Amino acid sequence: MADTRTAKEIESSYPLLGIGETHGSVSQKITSINLTNGFRPGWVLGLLIAFLFVNVLLGAATYLVFRGVGIWGIDIPVAWGFAIINFVWWIGIGHAGTLISAILLLLRQKWRNSINRFAEAMTIFAVMCAGMFPILHLGRPWLFYWLLPYPSTMGVWPQFRSPLIWDVFAVSTYATMSLVFWYVGLIPDFATLRDKSQSKFGRVAYGIVSLGWRNSAVHWERYEMASLLLAGLCTPLVLSVHSVVSFDFAVAQLPGWHTTIFPPYFVAGAIYSGFAMVLTLMIPVRKFYGLENIVTMRHINNMSKVMLATGLMVAYGYLIEGFTGWYGGDKFDHFMAWNRFTGPYAPAYWSLLTCNIIIPQLLWLRKFRLNVGVVWVISIIVNIGMWLERYIIVVTSLHRDFLPSSWGMYYPTIWDWAVFTGTLGFFMFFIHLFIRFLPIIAISEVRSLVTEAKYGAH
Amino acid sequence: MSVEKKSSELYGLMAEFADEASLLAAAEKALAEGFTKTDAFSPVPIHGLAAAVGFPKTHVAAFTLIGGLTGGAFGFGLASWVSAVAYPINFGGRPLMSIPAFIPPTFECTILFAGLATAFGMLFLNGFPHPYHPVFNVERFKLASSEGFFLVIESADPKFQLEGTTSFLKGLNARGVYEVKP
């Protein structure tokens, strides 16, 4: 029989949780990925491919340390190439995890409960990838600790008026807080795995990391309070991190960087790319592990809407950049905007607009939001578009600055690509390990959805 | 007396319930009955359950506040001491105490210290890590982390009597009552 409901009726009929799920069934379903599924051939193949690229990263980083940053395409005037593009791209991807786990918790968006663990894991691995780039870019990465304020025998201290040292504080705080928030969230789920594990090794290993969690009402009370407070702390933190990253650019005097719209524009872009990455990863995982009842179409639909909204904020950023270039009356700003539209990097600029602004408009239509295949493809296009955005910001601003005699072009080398694809492999390698050994969905929070379905929200 | 002797060998009695509502009702009845050493275990946090086992206040927020204040003072102190005292340099003619520039590190340190204090404070108050606990001796207690709802009355409770408390728990619609070995 044909479905006669309208698209709107279909959209609103999707539940947060499939019908008939109980505390026991969700616990069983999620822990089975870790405990009973074993090493699936698809997982092993994915891990091996990712591991291959981890080796590409190791090789490229080794050669970099051996030869120096000259193996990359960076030079004067474009001294910030792939390393900074990839740093900003990766750290932006991480932002969706914190948004989902912290901001949506404060906003009582219950649908986050099913996707927050995966998004937080993605945050941590993305920040790990991001953190590598500035350090590799240092030239002498083994001296990275010079960035930290410590009493050195040379009597030298970091420059606290520089955005680069703010970055060190922001990114290291962000990495630490994400890890702490993630671990706190994992404790009750480790207890579930401990209690369900059939092997002695599983019981002991998950038992150690669960710290002896026993689901006591008193513990839950403190735990809930701590989660709420951590969410309250992470919310301004996540907004500050990409703002500080944008200061690296905005505090400079360069046309194309020196603009006050950068902090909000970077934060919106970060959330945009992060949601795209969550969708890119979550859609195959939910299919592969049969989690359609836990990560439902409601989640895909909501994430698509967030992507559309943040995409429009990003579009506003591009519009204002162009408008300021024209209206500001500064001839260098004017040239910079014109150079983006028509200069040697114009194909990259127009591709970025196509990927980030034009194609995602399809998500206005319900039938596309409810089609996982379409959403998946759009999410990948947005990931590419957001990478191109950082490419445009870094390269087109630097390559033609005030003096035409100092203009130049930037061409990435094979080593640039090796490090970039290497971090993609590193990221996917950790995602695979995470899927196999940790609960990819916050079991205790999905159980709360069961309770809520039973009794209604309190 | 044999009952008293037996009760001192026990950590307490555990009753299993069918769902959230019956556990909460049972915990409230035990509180009304005058039991003070009770604890409830459930796979989900249940609103009001901690109060029903006589738990007053979490105190986690105090850790957050102290951590945050310490972090803020540390961050601002570090940036100003380094910039104005330990390593003063004229940086484009800006004042040595460039307060607006010190705000980002101050903010980040506030969040970092407050967050670590919150997480470790919660673990500390909960007494973690705590690998062994008598409740784990009950075979069915494994279900507390997936689908079981349990109420424990400790033998250390002044009102605890093996037979009386067992029948009290059974009268609360418990699915089963188990002895908890210490």
* HEC profile of A113-126: HHCHHHHHHHHHHH
Residue A364: is its pLDDT beyond 50? yes
The pLDDT value recorded for residue A1 is 40
Question: How many whole angstroms from its chain centre is CA B21?
Answer: 21
What is chain A's mean pLDDT, rounded?
Answer: 92
The pLDDT value recorded for residue A112 is 86
Which A residues, 381 through 400, put their C-beta within 8 Å of a C-beta on chain B? none
The pLDDT value recorded for residue B1 is 39
Confidence of residue A3 (pLDDT cuts 50, 70, 90): low
The pLDDT value recorded for residue A38 is 74
Asked if residue A114 belongs to a domain, the reply is: yes
Closest C-alpha to A452, from A4, A10, A11, A15: A15
Cα–Cα distance, A24 to A20 (Å, whole number): 11
Long-range contacts of A151-160 (CB under 8 A, 24+ apart): A155/B87, A156/B87, A157/B82, A157/B83, A157/B86, A157/B87, A158/B82, A159/B83, A159/B89, A159/B91, A160/B79, A160/B82, A160/B83, A160/B98, A160/B101, A160/B102, A160/B105
Looking at this protein, which amino acid is placed at residue B36? T
Tell me the pLDDT tens digit for each residue of B88-120. Answer: 998 888 899 999 999 999 999 999 999 999 999
Interface contact A215-B41, CB threshold 8 A: yes
The pLDDT value recorded for residue A292 is 87
Q: Taking the model in full, what pTM does it have?
A: 0.92
Looking at this protein, which amino acid is placed at residue A117? R
Quick one: DSSP state of residue B92? T
**Beta carbons of A244 and A170 less than 8 angstroms apart:** yes
What is chain B's mean pLDDT, rounded?
Answer: 91
Residue B3: is its pLDDT beyond 60? no
Instruction: Specify the range with the lowest mean pLDDT, choosing from A8-17, A47-56, A325-334.
Output: A8-17
How many helices (H) and strands (E) chain A has is answered by 18, 0
The pLDDT value recorded for residue B5 is 47
Question: How does A347-377 read in b/e, with b if 16+ C-beta sit within 10 Å?
Answer: ebbebbbebbbebbebbeeeebbbbbebbbb
User: Residue A82 belongs to a domain with what CATH number?
Assistant: 1.20.1630.10
Interface contact B112-A177, CB threshold 8 A: yes
Residue A89: is its pLDDT beyond 90? yes
Asked if residue A371 belongs to a domain, the reply is: yes
Interface contact A218-B39, CB threshold 8 A: yes
Asked if residue A6 belongs to a domain, the reply is: no
Residue A126: is its pLDDT beyond 80? yes
Tell me the pLDDT tens digit for each residue of B14-65. Answer: 999 999 999 999 999 999 999 999 999 999 999 999 999 988 888 999 999 9
The pLDDT value recorded for residue A452 is 85
Q: Count of CB atoms within 10 A of residue B65's CB?
A: 13
Q: Which CATH class is domain B2-54+134-180?
A: alpha beta
Collect all residues with Cβ–Cβ distance below 8 Å to A365 and sequence separation of at least 6: none
Q: Where in chain B are the domains?
A: 2-54+134-180, 60-125
The pLDDT of A139-143, averaged and rounded, is 91
The pLDDT of A357-385, averaged and rounded, is 96
Structure tokens at A238: 């996540």
Collect all residues with Cβ–Cβ distance below 8 Å to A89 and sequence separation of at least 6: A130, A273, A386, A387, A390
Phi/psi at A140 (5° precision): -120, 80
What is the residue range of A100's domain? 21-451
Cα–Cα distance, A407 to A404 (Å, whole number): 5
Measured torsion, CA atoms of residues A56, A57, A62, A67, in degrees rounded to the nearest 10: 90
Tell me the pLDDT tens digit for each residue of A166-183. Answer: 999 999 999 999 999 999
Asked if residue A11 belongs to a domain, the reply is: no
The pLDDT value recorded for residue A458 is 52
Which A residues, 222 through 241, put their C-beta within 8 Å of a C-beta on chain B? 222-226, 229-230, 233-234, 236-237, 240
Confidence of residue A29 (pLDDT cuts 50, 70, 90): confident
Domain count, chain A: 1
Residue with the larger pLDDT of the pair B7 and A4: A4
Tell me the pLDDT tens digit for each residue of A207-245. Answer: 999 999 999 999 999 999 999 999 999 999 999 999 999
Which B residues, 100 through 159, put their C-beta within 8 Å of a C-beta on chain A? 101-102, 104-105, 107-109, 111-112, 114-116, 118-119, 121-123, 125-126, 128-133, 135-136, 141-147
Residue B136: is its pLDDT beyond 50? yes
Share of chain A above pLDDT 90, in %: 76
Asked if residue A273 belongs to a domain, the reply is: yes
Instruction: Specify the range with the lowest mean pLDDT, choosing from A15-24, A72-81, A417-426.
Output: A15-24
Structure tokens at A306: 């967030």
Q: Write out chain B residues lying below 8 Å of A207, CB-based.
A: 131
Asked if residue A5 belongs to a domain, the reply is: no
Asked if residue A456 belongs to a domain, the reply is: no
Phi/psi at B38 (5° precision): -125, 160
- Paired with B13 in beta bridges are B153, B179
Looking at this protein, which amino acid is placed at residue A457? A
Residue A101: is its pLDDT beyond 70? yes
Which A residues, 16 through 55, put their C-beta within 8 Å of a C-beta on chain B? 22-24, 27-28
Asked if residue A3 belongs to a domain, the reply is: no
Cα–Cα distance, A168 to A144 (Å, whole number): 11
